[in-house]
Amino acid sequence: MRFSTHQIALIALLASLVACGAEERAIDTAGDEESLPTVYAVNYPLAYFAERIAGNTVEVVFPAPEDVDPAMWVPDVDTVARFQRADLVLLNGAGYAAWIQRVTLSQSRLVVTSAAFADRLIPVEDEVTHSHGPAGDHSHEGKAFTTWLDPEFAIEQARAVLGALLRLHPENESEYRERLATLEQDLRELDRELKDVSARIGDRRLLFSHPVYQYFERRYSLNGQSLHWEPGEMPDEVLWRELSGILSAHPANWMVWEGMPHPEAVSRLEGLGIRSVVFQPAGNRTESGDYMSVMQENLRALQQAFPTSAR
């Protein structure tokens, strides 16, 4: 079969038209993907709640690098610009991620997820006040911000996330509510099991490596004292002397760590009769697993540390 020059030109034209159509469809599809609303979160628990509730109907972005504490992380200007373009920005509130105060974000897109329990936040006051100029004495007081470690608060925060997501996708209400119910169930189950463990801990004195467990302590009535120890580092002698002072008034046998402690620190603590257990606040993503799996891991660690026959 032979084609004339005209026929070849016609086929080429048709082929290019088909290709153009395919390309346009591809662009349209890409456009659809791009048109997914973006939800930025300042910590991993909020990102996790948004992902659980919204599924793939929104693009959830938690831009903090994995090796930093999102509470202390400060994004660069480009990242702030991406926050500015987001359809929703999920804030933890309680002064978490202080950089929020130093950037410009659209008020209408900010969601303070702890607003519903703002009156129940735990105040943390800077011990040193200072004064300069006519403003008088003042201290940089704040609130404890690891709110999600109280599962009741975590549920309230997840509900706030739901409310915000419904503003973006009101048509998905029943689906979202269903997923929130499942999430709430998971958190309630975790709460119940943590209550069991805390009952076994009772009024035993504990040490916490960092002052981030305030809501956890209050929820489960734990008798703890917080230090300022970094999990991966061997504390210096000043910190050890400080610990000795604390132990004289607060003789504890267990230290709860934010992350895997330095082996030398663990063995020196054991020498003092203090054993170590890891309970990760999960403010940031972990290498494997998700928020619930980290919490389950925390729960198992506590269950092993304080078995049923512990009391």
Partner 1 sequence: MRDVLYLAWRYLVYHRLKTVILVTSITLIVYLPVGLNVVVEQSGEHLTARAEATPLLVGAKGSPLELALNSLYFSPDYPELIDYSEATAVIDSGLATAIPLYVRFRSRSQPIVGTSLDYFEFHELAFASGRPMAVLGECVVGAAVAEALGVEVGDAVTSSPETVFDLAGVYPLRMRIAGVLEKAFTSDDDAIFVDVKTAWIIQGLGHGHQDLARPEAAASVLDRSEDNIVANAALLQYNEITADNADSFHFHGDLAGYPLTAVIAVPNDEKAGVILRGRYTHDETMSQIVRPVTVIDELLDTILTIQQFIVAAVVIVGLATIATAALVFMLSLRLRRREIDTMLKIGGSRPRVASILVAEIAIVIILSCVLATLITLLTWRFGPGVIESVVLS
Contacts with partner 1 by CB under 8 A lie at 74, 77, 80-81, 84, 101-108, 127-135, 137-138, 140
User: Least distance in Å: CB of 127 to partner 1?
Assistant: 6
Nearer to partner 1, 85 or 195 (CB): 85
Nearer to partner 1, 25 or 138 (CB): 138
147 Cβ contact partners less than 8 Å away, ≥ 6 residues apart:
92, 93, 94, 96, 114, 117, 121, 153, 154, 157, 215
A 10 A CB-CB count for 170 gives 9
Could you tell me the CA-to-CA distances from 269 to 253, 261, 277, 298 in Å, in that order? 9, 11, 12, 20
Nearer to partner 1, 84 or 226 (CB): 84
Task: For residue 40, list its beta bridge partners.
Answer: 61, 89
User: Least distance in Å: CB of 65 to partner 1?
Assistant: 18
Nearer to partner 1, 133 or 271 (CB): 133
Phi, psi of 307 (to 5 degrees): -65, 170
Nearer to partner 1, 23 or 141 (CB): 141
Task: For residue 223, list its beta bridge partners.
Answer: 205
- Cβ-contact 161, 154 below 8 angstroms: no
Query: How does DSSP classify residue 37?
Result: P
User: Least distance in Å: CB of 209 to partner 1?
Assistant: 23
User: Least distance in Å: CB of 140 to partner 1?
Assistant: 6
- Cβ-contact 179, 52 below 8 angstroms: yes
Nearer to partner 1, 125 or 171 (CB): 125
Amino acid symbol at 160: A
